[in-house]
Amino acid sequence: MPPVSSRLPVFPWDRLEPYKTTAAAHPYGIVDLSVGTPVDPVPELIQRALAGASNRPGYPTVWGTTELRDAITGWCERRLGARGVEHTNVLPVLGSKELVAWLPTQLGLGPGDRVAYPRLAYPTYEVGARLAGAEPVVYDSPTELDPAGLRLLWLNSPSNPTGRVLAKEELRETVAWAREHGVLVFSDECYLELGWEADPVSVLHPDVCGGSFAGLVAVHSLSKRSNLAGYRAAFIAGDAAVLGELLQIRKHGGMMTPAPVQAATVVALGDDAHVVQQRERYAARRSALRGALEQQGFRIEHSEASLYLWATRNEPCWDTVGELSKQGILVAPGDFYGPAGERFVRVAFTATDERVAEAVRRLNS
């Protein structure tokens, strides 16, 4: 077997460690804005659901309980505007990153197959293609891709890292193009409930898909909306034929969402109040950080949704990372997400209110 170093890129965050050390040495501590991990408490009603389901000695099913499938289908119809979502159109997964990384392999892709994803993108799209031995391909506009050998097309709206939201018309055009060329579309929509200056739309919305899920699958996660990153609670929804194949493969692989997490997910998807409360927290942090960065000469591009500000002051990203680390502020260099990000940094607003306020103070001092 070839060594990992020859098959996969260097794990990006390993390169950030020296700057993290510098930031941590600041007399008032590090403000880590480099990773979009939740820091606020898991809502109590979700904690209670998890604890209440803790006495589950038997194996869970890969497909999930009836209650879980009801919760997912109901949420898709209520929140995404999707119509006619049946149990066969949904499947729980063990966090969305696992799904992204192993999807090409589970789809049976390999040498000679191509997997496309945005030029600025979450690194795991490329990793998934490489793990399967397929060819990773980047795009600026998906409809300009050469469809030859293209088996899987990743969309990501709202985008990580840029926060860009694809308009309904763009999504509709892409879906039509993919169907014309027989290309399977997976749409990573994990930040869909975190739109600030735009209202993100799912590929499963009838105005996009025409009322048919054929060739389309949407990926959703509870990590951001409900602070459940530690629970690894996520699901996919869409084409029943595609999900049916994945269900069989995942049964063989024992890829089962733990029963207590399934119970917690049911409660989380049924409650919108905690999502509204969390959005308010993020909106305040976003506004404070954006103002402070702009005062320091940063330009914010896109960033109309998600948990990040895509910022530049027209210098190499690692220079920006280095200067901010001296102020005890750690951000992610834009080239983690592709060469097109080499003059940007991604600034997460997932730190606590106290840490965000401290970052603002330092930037304004």
| DSSP codes of every residue in 205-218 | SHHHHTT--TTEEE
CA distance 141 to 170: 9
- Per-residue model confidence (pLDDT) at position 4: 55
Give every residue of the chain whose pLDDT is below 70, as ranges: 1-10
- Start-end ranges of CATH 3.40.640.10 in the chain? 44-271
Assign domain 4-41+274-364 to a CATH class. alpha beta
Every domain of the chain with CATH number 3.90.1150.10 lies at 4-41+274-364
Q: What pLDDT sits at residue 262?
A: 98
Quote helix, strand, coil % in the chain, to nearest 5. Answer: 45, 15, 40
CA 115 to CA 184: how far, in whole Å? 10
pTM over 0.85? The answer is yes
Q: CATH number of 44-271: 3.40.640.10, 3.10.20.30, 3.30.505.50, 3.30.2010.10? A: 3.40.640.10
Structure tokens at 337: 């997400």
Distance in angstroms (rounded) separating the CA atoms of residues 108 and 331: 37
In this structure, are residues 175 and 204 in contact, taking their beta carbons and an 8 Å threshold? no
- How confident is the model at residue 318, as a pLDDT? 97
